[in-house]
Amino acid sequence: MDTRPVGVFDSGLGGLTILKTLSQALPKEKLIYFGDTVNVPYGSKSKAAVTRFALDIARFLEKQKVKLIVVACNTASALALAELQKKISVPVIGVILPGAMKAAQCTRNGKVAVIATEATVQSKAYPRALKRLDKRIHTYQRACPVFVPLIEEGWIHKKAGEQIVADYLHGVQQSKADTVILGCTHYPVIKKKIAACLGKEVKLVDSAQVLAEEVKTRLAQTDQLNPSGRGSMKIYASDAPARFKRLAKNILGRELRRVYLKKLN
Amino acid sequence: MDTRPVGVFDSGLGGLTILKTLSQALPKEKLIYFGDTVNVPYGSKSKAAVTRFALDIARFLEKQKVKLIVVACNTASALALAELQKKISVPVIGVILPGAMKAAQCTRNGKVAVIATEATVQSKAYPRALKRLDKRIHTYQRACPVFVPLIEEGWIHKKAGEQIVADYLHGVQQSKADTVILGCTHYPVIKKKIAACLGKEVKLVDSAQVLAEEVKTRLAQTDQLNPSGRGSMKIYASDAPARFKRLAKNILGRELRRVYLKKLN
């Protein structure tokens, strides 16, 4: 038994979709979430920059004495996971491998599409992970850089948002993929819109669920679950916590009680 | 006569619209541009964060021995100008006052609208500047947070972009303003779209031209022009210079020769 908290971080709000699933799967754990709102977005920045941001956050979480860190951000997982695992003293789990494993299980025709940020697409993290799992899988990738601002501002639900979704997904439809990885933690928010556009024969993979199971398994294997805990959530943001609190509603569908400001560096 | 360069900075690409106008108005000056691509965007961040970013850049430009600094970013002008003018040894000129002066001259019905980032709107920098110039002016403000990503990605020219423009400008139309300040240096890129939406009776104020004149006047007054110079432009970005170079085309309409990477801190 290990009563230490689990750390979770993202460039901003998107990782809250992961936090929500984690808190449902592990209702007795203390969860600490860090949203890097001073450096958001990561998806258009370099590997060097994203790695520096991620290391600063992971070191902060280490100081909070977490027992495990979840990188609830595809870009940071794609660009910085190896570096984090090298330099951080507790286990660090990213979202890429769980998502790729689920997709490899789901696909029947061996065609998988990934929609993600520019940086995640360029890193080729998903195609590489999928190839390692099954050499026959063919991966199509599409960067959708406008999705994140549209989701954060709540615009995606308007008619223009629908058109942008349709436009971005055109190539995904052409790729004939039967499985599409939502390769950015913001995208589950518009899962229904994406599903409506692609049709129900296409399976959407949202790594939150499989990631939460992975975290649970890892903690159980090392006897680090906290079965008698009361469960809690503490949220930090590196800038503008009031704005974070307000926009979190667009992601979580409910109000956060409090967001703490924590500047790094 | 003063052969030192003029420094110009923005959170990213938007300030290139100012740089372009400056280079036309001052073809003999050496211009140094800094795009803060590691911290972009500023418009959703706090005053404390934006002030820190702006000071770091201004200090870098100071070290490049500039004779004057142009804050080619409305958010940084709105949030950090006073602090820059206090702490930096050379004159620092922002975009807010020139834009407000031009708008105050243009309006006939005393109703001015400002479209800008969230942070610029919240700072109330434009309404305050306009009130100081003419107490009778009534200002309507509208934050358009989705414009910047749509412009940078070249999406604004698609049909969905047009709808988003129309949606954001609905309140501007209702305000009956006869003068609209483009309160973000990205927006001149979509000036035609905005004009088409608002109709030709509405005057659009783009601070680039009036700012360039202000810079020229200031340098002339202190005998700091460089009349026998050959004119040049050196571009720095704090992250991902190749991406900056690629996207700069969406702003400038032409290719930049080289973008230097310069990390601050």
Q: Is A9 helix (H, G, I), strand (E, B) or coil?
A: strand
d(Cα A55, Cα A88) in Å, to the nearest integer?
Answer: 8
pLDDT of residue A254: 86
Mean pLDDT of B226-243: 96
Short-list B129, B131, B134, B243, CA closest to B183: B129
**How close is the nearest chain A Cα to the Cα of B45, in Å?**
6
| Chain A residues with CB-CB distance to B44 below 8 A | 37, 40, 240, 243
Mean pLDDT of B104-108: 98
- Residue A96 binned pLDDT confidence (cut-offs 50, 70, 90): very high
| Chain B residues with CB-CB distance to A143 below 8 A | none
Q: pLDDT tens across A144-177, in order?
A: 998 988 888 778 778 888 889 999 999 999 999 9
Residues of A with CB under 8 A from a CB of B: 37-40, 44-46, 48-49, 118, 145-146, 148-150, 153, 155, 158-161, 163-164, 167, 239-240, 243, 265
d(Cα B228, Cα B230) in Å, to the nearest integer?
Answer: 7
Residues in contact with A64: Cβ distance below 8 Å, sequence separation at least 6, in sequence order: A5, A7, A32
Q: Are B47 and B27 in contact (CB under 8 A)?
A: no
- Adjacency order of strands within the sheet including B92-93: B92-93, B68-71, B6-10, B30-35, B232-237, B260-261
CB contact under 8 A, B159 and A163: yes
d(Cα A212, Cα A70) in Å, to the nearest integer?
Answer: 9
- Residue B238 binned pLDDT confidence (cut-offs 50, 70, 90): very high
**How close is the nearest chain A Cα to the Cα of B56, in Å?**
14
Residue A184 designated active-site: yes
ipTM: 0.91
**How close is the nearest chain A Cα to the Cα of B242, in Å?**
10
DSSP symbols for B112-159: EEEEE-HHHHHHTHHHHHHHHH-TT-EEEEEE-TTHHHHHHTTGGGSH
| Chain A residues with CB-CB distance to B239 below 8 A | 45-46, 48-49
Average pLDDT, chain B: 95
CB contact under 8 A, B150 and A155: no
Task: Return the residue in B36, B39, B44, B51 with the most chain A beta carbons within 10 A, the one to mutate for interface testing.
Answer: B44
Mean pLDDT of B158-164: 86
d(Cα B215, Cα B27) in Å, to the nearest integer?
Answer: 13
**How close is the nearest chain B Cα to the Cα of A1, in Å?**
40
d(Cα B91, Cα B224) in Å, to the nearest integer?
Answer: 12
Kind of pairing between the strands at B30-35 and B232-237: parallel
pLDDT of residue B32: 98
User: What's the CA angle centered on B156, arms B152 and B158, to 5 degrees?
Assistant: 130
Tokens of A59: 């070191």
Mean pLDDT of B101-107: 97
pLDDT of residue A151: 86
pLDDT of residue B254: 86
pLDDT of residue B149: 85
Residue B184 designated active-site: yes
pLDDT of residue B152: 80
Q: pLDDT tens across A21-46, in order?
A: 999 999 999 999 999 999 999 999 99
pLDDT higher than 90, residue B211: yes
Short-list B145, B142, B13, B150, CA closest to B73: B13
Q: Are B65 and B110 in contact (CB under 8 A)?
A: no
Searching chain A, which residue's CA lies closest to the CA of residue B39? A39
pLDDT higher than 80, residue A265: no
Instruction: Closest CB to A164: pick one of B37, B160, B240.
Output: B160
pLDDT higher than 90, residue B232: yes
Q: pLDDT tens across B24-76, in order?
A: 999 999 999 999 999 999 999 999 999 999 999 999 999 999 999 999 999 99
Searching chain B, which residue's CA lies closest to the CA of residue A122? B243
Task: Return the residue in B36, B37, B38, B148 with the most chain A beta carbons within 10 A, the one to mutate for interface testing.
Answer: B38
A·B CB contacts under 8 A: 70
- Residue B251 binned pLDDT confidence (cut-offs 50, 70, 90): confident
d(Cα B138, Cα A27) in Å, to the nearest integer?
Answer: 53
Q: Are B30 and B3 in contact (CB under 8 A)?
A: yes
- Tell me the Cα Rg of chain B: 18
Question: Cα torsion for A69, A74, A79, A82, to the nearest 10°?
Answer: 30
pLDDT higher than 80, residue A55: yes
pLDDT higher than 80, residue B265: no
Q: What is the 3-state secondary structure (H, E, C) of B215-238?
A: HHHHHHHCCCCCCCCCCEEEEEEC
Instruction: Closest CB to B167: pick one of A44, A149, A158.
Output: A158
Tokens of B23: 């280079």
**How close is the nearest chain B Cα to the Cα of A65, in Å?**
27
> Within 13 Å, how many C-alpha atoms sit on residue A10's CB side?
20
d(Cα B64, Cα A188) in Å, to the nearest integer?
Answer: 46
d(Cα A185, Cα B229) in Å, to the nearest integer?
Answer: 51
Tokens of A28: 């007795």
d(Cα A184, Cα A168) in Å, to the nearest integer?
Answer: 14
pTM, 2 dp? 0.93
pLDDT of residue B252: 83
CB contact under 8 A, A146 and B145: no
Q: Is A112 helix (H, G, I), strand (E, B) or coil?
A: strand
Tokens of B135: 């107490």
Tokens of A247: 């926009």
Instruction: Closest CB to B160: pick one of A118, A145, A160.
Output: A160
Average pLDDT, chain A: 95
CA distances (Å), B9 to each of B59, B77, B220, in order? 12, 10, 22
CB contact under 8 A, B239 and A46: yes
Residue with more model confidence, A255 or A124: A124
Kind of pairing between the strands at B179-183 and B138-143: unpaired
pLDDT higher than 80, residue A232: yes
d(Cα B60, Cα B54) in Å, to the nearest integer?
Answer: 10
CB contact under 8 A, A240 and B38: no
